[in-house]
Structure 1
Amino acid sequence: MALVLIALLLVEMALLVLWVPGYFRSGIVLFNQRIAASPAMQARLALGALEHDLPADR
């Protein structure tokens, strides 16, 4: 049973090392594109309010 868990852990680590960097190297299209907003919408956005939305422990 312990050998199965060790083998599973090794497979998981190999997938993490080999698959994830290749995926993120190409980029996530959603985060590389800007969402269009009208000047009126941009003026309504208070950047100071975004800081208050962060958790207090940060």
Structure 2
Amino acid sequence: MDEPIIVDTAAAHAATGVAPGTLRVWLYRRHLTHHGRDAAGRDLVDLAEVQARVAAKAA
């Protein structure tokens, strides 16, 4: 299995176009796995998991 690419919500937004606020809601509702916070306090997510959720919502 591939190593997860853990990014903050701003980087996930840049890669997928999903607003950081939407990502935080998905984390709160447990649609995404929370991978902690970085030194600046930003939530960390797996980029592949975000991309899979976006693809599922588009289908």
> Shorter-chain TM-score category?
under 0.3
**More contact order relative to length (CA 8 Å, sep ≥ 6):** 2
Structure with greater Cα Rg = 1
More strand by share: 2
TM-score (norm: length of structure 2): 0.22
TM-score (norm: length of structure 1): 0.23
